[in-house]
Structure 1
Amino acid sequence: MKTTAIRKTNHVARLCVLMVLCAFCGGRAVAQDYLYEIGGGLGVAQYYGDANRGLLGSTGFGLEAFGRYNHNFRWAFSAILDWRSLSGNSTHVGNVFPGAAQADFRASLTQLHVRAEFNFVPYSDGYKYLGTARLSPYLTAGISMGMASGTKGSAFAPGITGGVGVKYKLKRRLNIGVEYAFTGLLTDALDALTEQSAWLNNPYQVNDSWLKNRDATGALMVRLTYDFGLRKSNCNKR
């Protein structure tokens, strides 16, 4: 009888442990972060080049479609398809160009950015024992492929991009973020796509290297994203 009681006690103990493990696993599944985010953003865009050297000059408009893969709490990878309306006026630069020529232009730029992101704080609204937080600043860097167009034609505009931002988890599957990103283009034709500004492709008539005298853009964006693709729990793995 004593042996039978001990066996029953052991069975009950095992059952209790199993129930606790199941509850723990279920809790983790509910609190698990999601692998993917999708959303969009809008903000202000800027052109930097021969027709603008100021930080706040030549402000335009920007729109984006955004996707992110969350590798873990620290690292993420994102892809952005954006459109920017850009303009510039050489009279505000302060430089004197050969022939005393002046120009203003308007152009649009469509770009695809592929980037890596590093969160300064583990980003999540759960797992407090891992030091996670709903708010995290981050750094990002990557490459861009783009196409600029104006009244005179279009130009291929590849580039290198980098930026800084902050993200905040509004709700379990809803995120908001603010980011400023700067893209250095490997072309000087962004501001030379109208008849009046075509000479800005090489305003000083000198031989430039592929790194010098290139155009650039910046954008301050506010975006909203939605999480999906629940990360699988490891509780059932043996």
Structure 2
Amino acid sequence: MNKFSYTDMLAYLGISSAHPGGFMLTKSILDNEKIERNSQILDIGCGTGRTSAFLAKKYKCNVTAIDCHPTMITKAQKRFKRENLKVKLINGTAEKLPFKKETFDFIIAESVIAFTNLDLSLKEISNKLKHKGKFISIELVSEDVLTDNEKEEIKKLYGLKNILSATEWKKKLTNHDFSSVVVEEDNNETDQNIASEKHDPSEHLNPELFQIFESHAKLIQKYKGRLGYRIFKCTK
């Protein structure tokens, strides 16, 4: 049994934008949203805090970041302090968001929700969004029918709880009180290379972490064309 998980690998290597499409997609999505200084934004599964920091710097808005991995939280704290940003950082999960009802104008989750109990997370997200607020998520999707063994291989490596098609994702989102669910493809899609992203590695890295990274690279090649991703924009 592996000592470390895929999420551990991202945390200890300090990979800041491991989600499909990377940070370029993040910026492209946010540039198309009407984010104002008084906007309240929640970044679920903030990781090392790159997206939260970008939001705080560019839009000067109110940003709350949440994650449950201690190493991610430590590195996000370091980033916010280094960049002198007033981002509220909380230890928590998508399944139990510690906020009042209708708190946020935007909730963002970049390759996070598939790792959670979908029904619990989506119920919480819908509850914490203001009326006409928007939930933006980037998620892995199956582009082809996968066998049970193939799904288990993918789930085992990443620790995923869900592997859904784009249609299945839309149906699930529509069932959680969103008045509108728009599914978009990344028009500038490129092969993601998380090795090219900025890193903040921990000291004394265990060799097993690099083995997980190699397994990830091999799996991406194995399922090329059969796994993809979509951008989901959901309005309450």
Larger Rg: 1 or 2? 1
Q: Which has the higher strand share?
A: 1
Question: TM-score, normalising length from structure 2?
Answer: 0.22
Query: Using CA pairs below 8 Å that are at least 6 residues apart, which structure has the higher relative contact order?
Result: 2
Question: TM-score, normalising length from structure 1?
Answer: 0.22
Q: Which has the higher helix share?
A: 2
